[in-house]
Structures are given as structure tokens and as C-alpha cells.
Amino acid sequence: MNNTLTNRFREIYGREAEGLYFAPGRVNLIGEHVDYNGGLVFPCALSFGTYLLAARRDDKKTAFTTLNFDHAATRDESAFTTKPATWEKYPLGVMKEFAAKGFDPWGYDLLFFGDMPNGASLSSSASIEMVTAIMLNDQLGANIDPVELALMSQRAENLFVGMNSGIMDQFASAMGKENHAIALDCATLAFEWVPLAMEGVSVVIANTNKQRKLVDSKYNERRSECEEAARLIARRRPLNALCELSPEEFEALAGEITHPTILRRARHAVTEHARVKEAIVALKGGDLQRFGRLMNESHRSLKEDYEVTGIELDTLAGEAQRLDGVLGSRMTGAGFGGCTVSLVASDAVPSFIATLGERYTRRVGLTADFYIARVGNGARKIENVRQSILC
């Protein structure tokens, strides 16, 4: 398109936008499916995500339009009860969280635009939630801090959307910092920005382009299995979440779990948490080879113990691990499709993309998309609403 977002807003709503906001997606370098198990994760915010243009209306309805889908809708507060199944459920859930705090979130024309692939496990839904939260916080003068906005967005996804996600996605979108990853303790929300000292190494994201089905239900199923494992272990040892256990403690208590599937789910959560701790130490020490090996081990655990990969992700990660210049490769996100993340020597990136893309298509029959990740800042208002943003 040749028009800017501001021009599109004018075309759709017949007036000027009053505010422009942005919230990034994220990629998790290591630490998958441990956020809701009370563990450490290690995500970073990306330079792409979701933009939102907004303007006040004179009534108490809100219009939702996106340039990424055909569906648009105008809703009123009855939508909090009817819970539409369409994409606007994500911003509506955030609006309901503001209403619960005593604010009136209604009366806006909204235009969303995402420059990230939807359904790629890069947290497009969390970026929609966070950009809505940033917009309402500004428009309503609510003065809510970013961490609480992330928690409100998580509650929106859990309680309104019905996806029992942990805090990682929304937190990374809210608190990202350019050229840094976030070491986040999901049990306490204590965090540390860790510089991505990766001279000569690039972070490459590969999108399987597999249409993901049943990911929400399988995600909720995995969470339920981990909660059951924690409940069983807590009969012998006080325990709030699986990641309170070291791998050694887990093995000593594993006999409490008699179901082999639940045992494997718990083993992944505990060992993945240990890998995150080790990976952060490795990065701080400049040992990227060790970091890469931990990424490979993470993928193996997600494949064998957590069973959330599939032929598409396994092909991308497995073939990547065999290529020259690759330090490590793993799936990232919820799984069942989506993306892998790889550490690749920068001078090997062109051959990496060409070779891996050809092997993936030959084996799976799909075409992968590749992105060299640029790590950016967290959700924010963009002050110059009239700046040119090509859509």
C-alpha cells in the first residue's frame, strides 16, 4: 500500500487519528512452557509488532478495524458478556480489565495494523493486548505502570479469551529493551535486562507457515498436566509450582507421578528451567557455543517430553542444527507450528536461509519465511502521529 496508516484511518473513519501506539512481538530465546510453571524465561522484544491508531467518539461504542483481516466490528459494553469469537476479543478483554478498575474504556474508533506474521508464535495476540492497554492508559490518563498493564493483558487472555497463558508474552512486549533480552522470574516478576553480546552472531527466526489448529486447547491441556504433576508432588513436599524444584529434587520425588505422560510434562518444565539458568550464565560469560547447545537440548525436550513440536518444527530445528555456522536452534512459542529461533554466524546467514529453506520445502512441502531479528524496545506511544508508516 502507498498510503500511510494515518491516511487509512482518515479513509475509514472520515477524520484524523488522535494517537498512535505500538507494542512489539517477542521471541523467546530459551525457556518454553515454564512461565506458567513459575520459572525463568529469556525473551526479547522484536522490532515488529502491532500499531494502533485511535480517536475518541461521541458515543459509548467502539469500532474495531484491522488492516490484517477483513472482519471489522462496532461493539458496545454488551460485548463483555457475549464474548465474540472474532479477533477483537483480544482488545475487548483488555478493555474489560480497565472497566474492572473503574475506568470507562468505551467510545473510540480504532485501527490496528500488525507487521508481524499472525499465528507464528511471536505473540501477535499479546502485542494486540499490550497496544490496547498502552492506548487506554494514555487516553484515560490512568497512570498505570507497565508491569501492571502486562498483568492486566495477561488476565484478559486468561479470563476473557480463554487461553491460560503465563506472563512472559505480555511482559516482554511491555518491558522490552533494545539489544537486550529479559531474564524474567515468572513467579515473582523480578527481572534483569541482559545485553545480547552476540558479536558476529545473528538471531534468525524461521516461520513454518503451518496453519496451527487446536493450539489453544493443547496449550491449556499441557498447563493442566503440569498443575496435576505439582499437586501430586506437593503430597510429599510443599510446592506451588514445578520450577521450584531442581532436576535432582524432581528425580527424587518423581515416583509420586505414576502417569508416564504427566511425568514427561513435569520433567520438561523442571529441566527447561535449569537450562534457562545455565543459558543466562553462558551468555553473560560470552559462551555462545554453550548457549547454542542448550537451545538444542531445549528443542529435544519439547519434542520428546512436552510433545509440542511436529514435523514442521522438528525439520526446521533439526536441519538447522546440522548446518555450518549454526550454534543452536529450537522451536519458540507455544508450538504445534509457528517458528524456530536459531543462533547463526552472521556471515553464514545467507547460505543458512537458502539451504534450510530448500530442505524444509523438499521434506514438508511448505515454504518457510525467515527473519533476522532486530531486538527493540517495549510498548509505547509514538508521539508523531502523522509520521509516515507504510502499511
- pLDDT of 324 > 90? The answer is yes
DSSP string over 297-323: HHHHHHHHTS----HHHHHHHHHHHTS
Q: Which range of residues forms the domain containing residue 271? A: 201-372
Whether 41 and 146 map to the same domain: the answer is yes
Whether 302 and 289 map to the same domain: the answer is yes
Q: pLDDT tens across 263-282, in order?
A: 999 999 999 999 999 999 99
Whether 175 and 281 map to the same domain: the answer is no
Q: Please state, in angstroms and rounded to a whole number, the distance separating the CA atoms of residues 78 and 94.
A: 15
Whether 272 and 136 map to the same domain: the answer is no
Whether 222 and 108 map to the same domain: the answer is no
Residue 62 pLDDT class (50, 70, 90 cuts): very high
Q: pLDDT tens across 19-60, in order?
A: 999 999 999 999 999 999 999 999 999 999 999 999 999 999
pLDDT of residue 391: 41
Q: What amino acid positions are annotated as catalytic residues?
A: 169
Residue 211 burial (C-beta neighbours within 10 Å; 0-12, 13-18, 19+): exposed
Q: How far is CA 332 from the centre of its chain?
A: 9
The CB density around residue 148, as the number of other CB atoms within 10 Å, is: 15
What the block records as the C-alpha cell of 322 is 546440522
Confidence (pTM): 0.92
Whether 74 and 187 map to the same domain: the answer is yes
Of residues 59 and 2, which shows the higher confidence score?
A: 59
Whether 220 and 273 map to the same domain: the answer is yes
DSSP-derived secondary structure letter, 211: P
In a domain, 154, yes or no: yes
Whether 184 and 247 map to the same domain: the answer is no
Q: Which amino acid type is present at position 4?
A: T
In a domain, 333, yes or no: yes
In a domain, 387, yes or no: no
Number of domains in the chain: 2
Neighbouring-strand partners of residue 98: none
* Average pLDDT score over residue span 94-111: 98
* Cα distances (angstroms) measured from residue 124 to each of 43, 51, 114, 263, 314: 14, 11, 8, 31, 22
pLDDT of residue 259: 98
Alpha-helical segments (H) within 140-214: 146-155, 168-175
* Average pLDDT score over residue span 317-338: 96
In a domain, 391, yes or no: no
In a domain, 388, yes or no: no
Q: How many Cα atoms sit within 13 Å of 285 on the Cβ side?
A: 10
**Average pLDDT over all residues of the chain:** 94
* Average pLDDT score over residue span 147-170: 95
CATH number at 296 reads: 3.30.70.890
- pLDDT of 385 > 70? The answer is no
In a domain, 48, yes or no: yes
Whether 299 and 189 map to the same domain: the answer is no
In a domain, 137, yes or no: yes
Whether 155 and 238 map to the same domain: the answer is no
Q: Please state, in angstroms and rounded to a whole number, the distance separating the CA atoms of residues 115 and 127.
A: 11
What the block records as the C-alpha cell of 69 is 483481516
pLDDT of residue 213: 63
Of residues 23 and 122, which shows the higher confidence score?
A: 23
- pLDDT of 214 > 70? The answer is no
CATH number at 30 reads: 3.30.230.10
Whether 209 and 295 map to the same domain: the answer is yes
In a domain, 390, yes or no: no
Whether 186 and 292 map to the same domain: the answer is no
High-pLDDT (> 70) share of the chain, %? 95
Q: pLDDT tens across 223-261, in order?
A: 999 999 999 999 999 999 999 999 999 999 999 999 999
